[in-house]
């Protein structure tokens, strides 16, 4: 296949971008650090060596095309803001320049330390493979002059065309702005909706068991071009923080309500609601988790897919994917509530990983406009691991810093941290999840209408790899 220049792609400022369609052939990459793609059926594909996309194509039009450096310098200027080292977030762009101050390479920040410095990068090395590597563990031709950027706008297409470029997005949390690397709690999607039996067409806070529930999603399109043939695939899982791709179960299709739902069309800068699937949870745990994946197809080699899935099952990484692990518990003053969740191995392949569990209790006044009361009455929360005696959360004043990036600044608007707990150095094994028991007592003098959030997050290698949020409403 000859190299072909393709047109119709623009920066946010409307500058045409120089983009090449090249030989899409793939040669398997024997390098053990090469990246893989996990299909919906959980089969794993070696992304291999390919001329189809280069580092710049990986960064800005993932896995579709080979971009010219002129396009990248334009995009860094028009679609991105510089980020100082020390404020770097997962999903930010790293730019490599050489001794002539010429851009030679880009990638995405895959992991940071607790101080806003990149520790791992994901990038494509020319026509060679896609790798996860330390920032300076790259071919020397890329240079050592590093800078970081945060993408603030997607690429644009020709508004007269359709299906050439799209940016599908299901919100990961109420504060998600659509960019990669959304921070915790990314398991609290407001765009995955449940209408519990009996149906009234309006979303409910919790599903009901042993009855059908209607589950649907709102899907946004962040670019200016209409996209057709969008499908959304729905999954459920037992209540857990730290879910491997294999932990997710597709919701079975029912007559007239197939899963995946679709196809739907979404206009540019617009959103659409999907049809619903019927989900009848029957398992005993009090609440279950939901996952939605918006997609056009499941082929990572399809250059014509206007918005390929790049990181399947990587919820915070891919704007097409969202998770809803939210359990709302209405409790009266002086009453107790209990629940248990699993904390499993989030990896499909790793035999064991080591990490920690962070719990943060926050308070939100029922009417944020009136501000916080002077004396917040904290819930009494204790957490037990694998039936050991429960440990109470400590007051937030005693916890100045929680391990990893799960800090309350990242939470919902209007929340204030009041207590927390960290369980460190836990080993997570496949199919042998830890059982986390949570006991909640509402003080007798708690204000009615107050809302408390208990965010439970799993952290592995400094990254939040899963979470579960319990919302306690004092009634």
Would you tell me which residues interact with another protein (CB under 8 A)?
Answer: 2-3, 5, 18, 20, 22, 54-56, 66, 68-70, 98, 100, 102, 104-105, 124-128, 139-143
- Nearest-CA neighbor of 316 among 175, 202, 200? 175
Tell me the C-alpha distance between 35 and 38, whole Å: 10
| Nearer to another protein (CB atom), residue 94 or residue 326 | 94
- Nearest-CA neighbor of 327 among 205, 189, 194? 205
Minimum distance from residue 126 beta carbon to another protein (Å): 4
Minimum distance from residue 109 beta carbon to another protein (Å): 18
DSSP annotation of 410? G
| Nearer to another protein (CB atom), residue 114 or residue 139 | 139
| Nearer to another protein (CB atom), residue 131 or residue 148 | 131
Roughly how many angstroms between the first and final C-alpha of the chain, as a whole number? 66
Helix (H) or strand (E) holding 57: helix 55-60
CB atoms within 10 A of CB 474: 20
Dihedral class, residue 222 (left if φ above 0, else alpha if ψ from -120 to 50, else beta): alpha
Minimum distance from residue 46 beta carbon to another protein (Å): 17
| Nearer to another protein (CB atom), residue 102 or residue 427 | 102
Minimum distance from residue 30 beta carbon to another protein (Å): 14
Q: Percentages helix, strand, coil for the chain, rounded to the nearest 5?
A: 5, 40, 50
Minimum distance from residue 19 beta carbon to another protein (Å): 10
CA dihedral 235, 239, 241, 243 (to 10 degrees): -40
**How wide is the angle at C-alpha 143 spanned by C-alphas 124 and 72, nearest 5°?**
55
Classify residue 384 as exposed, middle or buried by CB count within 10 Å of its CB (0-12, 13-18, 19+): middle
| Nearer to another protein (CB atom), residue 22 or residue 295 | 22
Minimum distance from residue 305 beta carbon to another protein (Å): 21
Sign of CA dihedral 131, 137, 138, 144: positive
Minimum distance from residue 377 beta carbon to another protein (Å): 58
Length of the chain: 475
| Nearer to another protein (CB atom), residue 98 or residue 228 | 98
CA dihedral 274, 280, 286, 290 (to 10 degrees): -30
| Nearer to another protein (CB atom), residue 55 or residue 454 | 55
| Nearer to another protein (CB atom), residue 147 or residue 407 | 147
Q: What are phi and psi of 259, to 5 degrees?
A: -125, 120
Minimum distance from residue 79 beta carbon to another protein (Å): 18
| Nearer to another protein (CB atom), residue 106 or residue 173 | 106
Minimum distance from residue 106 beta carbon to another protein (Å): 9
The pairing of strands 156-157 and 9-10 is antiparallel
């Amino acid at each position: 296949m000859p190299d072909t220049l393709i047109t119709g792609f623009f920066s946010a400022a409307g500058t045409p971008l120089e983009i090449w369609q090249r030989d899409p052939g793939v040669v398997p990459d024997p390098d053990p650090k090469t990246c893989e793609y996990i299909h919906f059926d959980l089969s794993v594909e070696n992304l291999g060596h390919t001329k189809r996309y280069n580092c710049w194509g990986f960064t800005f039009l993932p896995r579709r095309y080979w971009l010219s450096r002129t396009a990248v310098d334009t995009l860094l200027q028009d679609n991105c803001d510089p980020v100082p080292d020390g404020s770097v977030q997962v999903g930010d762009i790293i730019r490599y320049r050489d001794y002539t101050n010429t851009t030679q390479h880009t990638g995405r920040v895959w992991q940071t330390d607790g101080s806003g410095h990149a520790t791992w990068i994901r990038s494509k090395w020319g026509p060679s493979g896609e790798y996860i590597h330390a920032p300076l563990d790259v071919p020397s031709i890329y240079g050592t002059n590093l800078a970081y950027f945060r993408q603030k706008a997607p690429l644009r297409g020709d508004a007269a065309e359709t299906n050439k470029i799209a940016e599908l997005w299901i919100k990961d949390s109420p504060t998600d702005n659509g960019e990669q690397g959304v921070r915790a709690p990314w398991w609290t999607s407001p765009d995955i909706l449940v209408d519990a039996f009996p149906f009234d067409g309006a979303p409910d806070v919790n599903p009901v068991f042993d009855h059908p529930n209607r589950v649907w999603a709102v899907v946004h399109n962040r670019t200016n071009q209409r996209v057709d043939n969008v499908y959304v695939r729905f999954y459920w899982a037992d209540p857990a923080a730290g879910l491997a791709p294999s932990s997710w179960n597709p919701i079975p299709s029912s007559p007239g309500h197939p899963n995946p739902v679709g196809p739907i069309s979404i206009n540019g800068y617009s959103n659409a609601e999907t049809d619903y699937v019927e989900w009848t949870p029957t398992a005993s745990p009090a609440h279950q988790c939901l996952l939605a994946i918006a997609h056009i197809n499941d082929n990572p080699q399809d250059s014509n897919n206007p918005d390929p899935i790049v990181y399947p099952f990587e919820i915070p990484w891919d704007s097409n994917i969202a998770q809803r692990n939210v359990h709302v518990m209405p409790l009266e003053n002086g009453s107790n509530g209990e629940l248990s969740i699993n904390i499993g191995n989030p990896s499909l392949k790793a035999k064991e990983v080591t990490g920690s569990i962070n719990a943060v209790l926050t308070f939100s006044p029922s009417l944020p406009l009136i501000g916080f009361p002077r004396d917040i009455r904290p819930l009494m929360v204790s957490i037990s691991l694998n039936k050991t005696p429960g440990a109470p959360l400590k007051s937030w004043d005693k916890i100045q810093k929680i391990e990893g990036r799960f800090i309350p600044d990242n939470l919902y608007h209007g929340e204030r941290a009041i207590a927390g707990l960290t369980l460190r150095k836990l080993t997570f094994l496949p199919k042998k999840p830890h059982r986390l028991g949570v006991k909640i007592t509402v003080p007798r003098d708690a204000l009615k209408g107050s809302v408390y959030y208990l965010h439970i997050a799993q952290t592995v290698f400094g990254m939040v790899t899963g979470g579960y949020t319990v919302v306690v409403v004092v009634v």
